[in-house]
Amino acid sequence: MRKALKTLGSLASDALSTGWVLFRVMLPALLLVRIVSLLGILSPLGALMAPVMALAGLPGETGIVWITGMLTNLYGGLAILAGMIVPLRLTVGQVTTLGMMLLLAHSMPVETTVAARSGVSPLLVIPLRVVSALAAGVILRASGFVRAFRQPPTVLWKGVPQAGGWGGWLLDLAESMGTILVVIFLVLLALEILERLGFTGFLRKVLRPAFELAGIGPEAATVTVVGLVLGISYGGGLVIKAASRGDIPAGQVTSAVCFMSLCHGVVEDTALVATLGAWTPMISLGRVLFAWGVTVLVFALTPRKTPKT
C-alpha cells in the first residue's frame, strides 16, 4: 500500500512538472489567438487557410489549430480546437480528421531537432510530416469518412472560447488547464500500468514482421516501440545514443525516425485527442497503419546511405 501511494505521488509530481512545461508554451499561444480574435484578424487568417483546410473537409479557421500545434505542441493545438468545436459546429468526422493531422504533424521545432540529432535531415522530416498530415486529411475526406460521422462530438473538457470578457476567458482557461492536468496524470498512470504488464515487449514481438517491411530491423525495433508508446523524446533519445555508438545500422535509423516522427506517444496522444470527441479507432490504429505505410514507402524510395550522426 505504501509503495502504491509512493508511485501515485511520483506520478502526480510528474504530471505537475509536465503540466508546467506545457502551460508555458500553451499560454502564449492561447493569449495570441485571443488577441487576434478580438482584433478581428481570425476570420481573415481563416480565409487564407481555407483552400488548404478545405482539401480535408475542414473550415478555414481550423488552420489556426493546425499551425499552432505544429509551432508549439499538441496540447496548444488541442486547447484552441476545444474552443472552436461549438462555435464552428464541428462534427466527429471533422474533429477526428483535424486530430489526425495534428497527431502526424505537431511540435515541429522540438521534434525535428530530435530527428536531426539522430542523423536524419530536417529536409526529409519536415516535408514528410506536413505532406503526410495533409494527405491523411485528404484521404479521410475522399473516403467519405468526414461525411459518415456528422454527429456532434462528445467533448470531455471545456475549451477556451475567444468571445466574451476577460474574466470569463480566464475562468475557462483555469478550468481547461485543471482538466489537462487530470488527463496527464491518468495517462501517466496508464503508461505505468502498461509498462509493468510488459506491454512494450509484447508490442515489439507483434510488430517485428511489419517493422522489417519498413526497414526497421531488430536493432532499432526496441527503441521504435519505446517511441511509439512513450513519445519521440524517449525513443529519439535512445536512437541518438545508439546511432552515435553505431549500434543501429544507418538505414534503420532513418526508417525508425521517420516512423516515430509520424507516430509516437500513441497512448498519451490518442487519449488527449479522444477527449475532444475524435473517433478513437482512427486516431490510434488508423494512425499507426498510416505511419507504417508512409515509412514503407520512404524506405522503398530512399537511397541506402549513411546519415551523419
DSSP string, 52-102: HHHTTT--TTHHHHHHHHHHS-HHHHHHHHHTTTTTTT--HHHHHHHHHHH
Quick: pLDDT tens for 17-65.
766 755 665 677 667 766 766 676 666 767 788 999 999 999 998 998 9
pLDDT value, residue 181: 77
Q: Count Cβ atoms below 10 Å from residue 306 Cβ, excluding itself.
A: 11
pLDDT value, residue 126: 96
Quick: pLDDT tens for 175-197.
767 776 777 787 678 767 877 78
What does the alpha-carbon distance between residue 179 and residue 21 come to, in Å, rounded to a whole number?
Answer: 16
In a domain, 307, yes or no: no
Average pLDDT over the chain, rounded to whole? 83
Could you tell me the residue range of the domain that residue 80 belongs to? 2-107+119-301
Closest CA to 264 of 160, 118, 145: 118
Closest CA to 256 of 283, 222, 230: 222
pLDDT value, residue 252: 92
In a domain, 201, yes or no: yes
In a domain, 266, yes or no: yes
Query: In this structure, are residues 265 and 224 in contact, taking their beta carbons and an 8 Å threshold?
Result: no
Query: 85-89, 173-177, 305-309 — which is least confidently predicted?
Result: 305-309
In a domain, 308, yes or no: no
Number of domains in the chain: 1
In a domain, 58, yes or no: yes
In a domain, 112, yes or no: no
Query: In this structure, are residues 271 and 74 in contact, taking their beta carbons and an 8 Å threshold?
Result: no
In a domain, 114, yes or no: no
Q: What is the largest CA-CA distance in the chain?
A: 58
Q: Choose between 280 and 113: higher pLDDT.
A: 280
Phi, psi of 236 (to 5 degrees): -65, -40
In a domain, 309, yes or no: no
Q: What is the pTM of this model?
A: 0.81
